[in-house]
A and B are shown apart, each in its own frame.
Chain A
Amino acid sequence: AQSVTQLGSHVSVSEGALVLLRCNYSSSVPPYLFWYVQYPNQGLQLLLKYTTGATLVKGINGFEAEFKKSETSFHLTKPSAHMSDAAEYFCAVSGYSGNTPLVFGKGTRLSVIA
């Protein structure tokens, strides 16, 4: 079984500051890991994913995440926050080479202060 824990239900950063959203996972099999973003009144948009290979993955809008097996973590970062980054972010895990449904964390709301 898989599970995801997102530390911090709400994160607030200043425009131009580093964004760090934390995600820890639990999986009995090699995981596939994802970050999704949800803007108000919209569905989920894939930011980035880790399947196999390089542990540092780059996504859209300047976001990146690093898979650390020893720490069971997949934290999302962006060097410089922009006002348009304000949204809800979800970390998700899937197992068996992606052949199991996504299990999502509860989400982290990112606020960006001008």
Chain B
Amino acid sequence: ETGVTQSPTHLIKTRGQQVTLRCSSQSGHNTVSWYQQALGQGPQFIFQYYREEENGRGNFPPRFSGLQFPNYSSELNVNALELDDSALYLCASSPGSLGTEKLFFGSGTQLSVL
């Protein structure tokens, strides 16, 4: 049990729609990062937030955006969904400002885009 919860667990959307995925981190974890895991691939870094500010971004277009809230919850928003956005989306939190040494992953949200 990592103390990181994600909702919903599964989601089906159609192409062109918008989606919001949610993550609740452990209390005291100021950093949250999001990863996309396509079928048969390793997770890919989307972006990271520290104290409600984005402080790192991977190779994902601007239609992927996020928010982090003071209550240790966060959101991943994806606009104009494409078929290739179908993947498992993982949230990970950390007690530090940066760093991957102590990452705690949630179980993910499985997004299917039809």
Question: Do B103 and A102 touch across chains, with their CB atoms under 8 A apart?
Answer: yes
Residues of A near B41 (CB, < 8 A) are: 106-107
On B, residues with C-beta under 8 Å from A are 2, 4, 6, 33, 35, 40-45, 48, 56, 58, 90, 92, 98-101, 103, 105-108
A101 touching B105, Cβ below 8 Å: no
Q: Does A90 contact B (CB under 8 A)?
A: yes
A51, B90: Cβ atoms closer than 8 Å: no
Question: Which segment of A14-22, A40-48, A69-77 sits at the interface?
Answer: A40-48
Q: Which residues of B contact A98 (CB under 8 A)?
A: 98-101
A43 neighbours in B (Cβ, 8 Å) = 2, 4, 6, 90, 105-108
Residues of chain A within 8 A of B33, CB atoms compared:
101
Please report the C-alpha to C-alpha distance between residue A103 and residue B40 in the assembled complex, in whole angstroms: 15
Collect the chain B residues with CB atoms within 8 Å of residue A101's CB. Answer: 33, 45, 48, 56, 58, 100
Cα–Cα, bound, A93→B44 (Å): 12
User: Out of A9, A46, A90, A100, which one reaches B103, CB within 8 Å?
Assistant: A46
Q: Are B105 and A102 in contact (CB under 8 A)?
A: no
Instruction: Give residues of chain A (67-114) contacting chain B, Cβ–Cβ below 8 Å.
Output: 90, 92, 94, 97-107
C-alpha gap A98/B45 in the complex (Å): 14
Minimum CB distance partner of B90 in chain A: A43
Instruction: Output the nearest chain A residue to B110 by Cβ-Cβ distance.
Output: A41
Cα A106 to Cα B43 with chains together (Å): 8
B105 surroundings in chain A (CB, below 8 A): 36, 43-45
Q: Is the CB of A90 within 8 A of B107?
A: no
Chain A residues numbered 21-48 whose CB sits less than 8 Å from any CB in chain B: 32, 34, 36, 41-46
Give bound CA distance, A107 to B39, whole Å.
Answer: 11
Contact B107 A104 (CB under 8 A): no
**A97 partner, pick from B2, B44, B90, B99, beta carbons under 8 A:** B99
Q: Which of B48, B101, B108 contacts A32 (CB 8 A)?
A: B101
A-B interface, 4 closest residue pairs, ranked by CB to CB distance from nearest: A104-B42, A101-B45, A43-B105, A98-B99
Q: Which residues of B contact A102 (CB under 8 A)?
A: 35, 43, 45, 100, 103
